């Protein structure tokens, strides 16, 4: 069944989470709101660490929160970010996050919405951001 995606609502959720980003080292705050097939939304923020590589991106935080609560199918994610939480540009997901989303998304349908505000956003399918991707189907899953 096709579900209408309320992009503005998803972006609002992400923007509202920027205050929870933990980014004392880079100062670059990122937040994401992930829409599951059942309509549930999970948010995530970047969580940095004094041991820099131990930090986690906002998108992966959202995916891991959702999967750890039993979710497996996702429709869209809204992402926003900027220095000190000032969103002046589009923040597109890093390569690792694209691959993590690929595990649980239909690349041709899953929408990645990068937003500066509820009115100013761009959207891509995951397939556009991660072409010729490697996924669970390659392993017969």
The residues annotated as belonging to the active site are 59
What angle is formed at CA 44 by the lines to CA 43 and CA 45, rounded to 5 degrees? Answer: 140
- Applying the rule CB under 6 A, the residues between 28 and 67 that interact with ligand THU are 28, 30, 46, 48, 55, 57-59
Using the minimum distance from each CB to ligand THU, give the nearer residue, 36 or 112: 112
For the chain, the 3-state helix, strand and coil shares in percent, each to the nearest 5, are 30, 25, 40
Shortest distance, position 25 Cβ to ligand THU, whole Å: 7
* In contact, 129 and 117? CB cutoff 8 Å: no
With contacts defined by CB under 6 A, name the span among 20-28, 65-73, 82-90, 125-133 that binds ligand THU.
20-28
Cα 13 to Cα 94, 98, 102, 127, 140, distances in angstroms: 20, 20, 22, 24, 35
Using the minimum distance from each CB to ligand THU, give the nearer residue, 27 or 136: 27
Given the rule CB under 6 A, which residues bind ligand THU?
23, 26, 28, 30, 46, 48, 55, 57-59, 79, 91, 93-94, 97
């Amino acid at each position: 069944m096709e579900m209408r995606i309320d992009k503005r609502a998803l972006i609002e959720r992400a923007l509202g989470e920027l205050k929870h980003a933990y980014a004392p080292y880079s100062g670059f705050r990122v937040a994401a709101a992930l829409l599951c097939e059942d309509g549930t939304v999970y948010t995530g923020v970047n969580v940095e660490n004094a041991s820099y590589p131990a930090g986690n991106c906002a998108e992966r935080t959202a995916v891991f929160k959702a999967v750890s609560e039993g979710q497996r199918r996702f429709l869209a994610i809204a992402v926003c970010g900027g220095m000190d939480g000032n969103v002046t540009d589009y923040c597109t997901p890093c390569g690792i996050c694209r691959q993590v989303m690929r595990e649980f998304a239909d690349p041709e349908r899953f929408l990645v919405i990068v937003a500066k505000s509820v009115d100013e956003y761009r959207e891509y399918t995951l397939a556009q951001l991660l072409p010729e991707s490697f996924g669970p189907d390659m392993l017969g899953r």
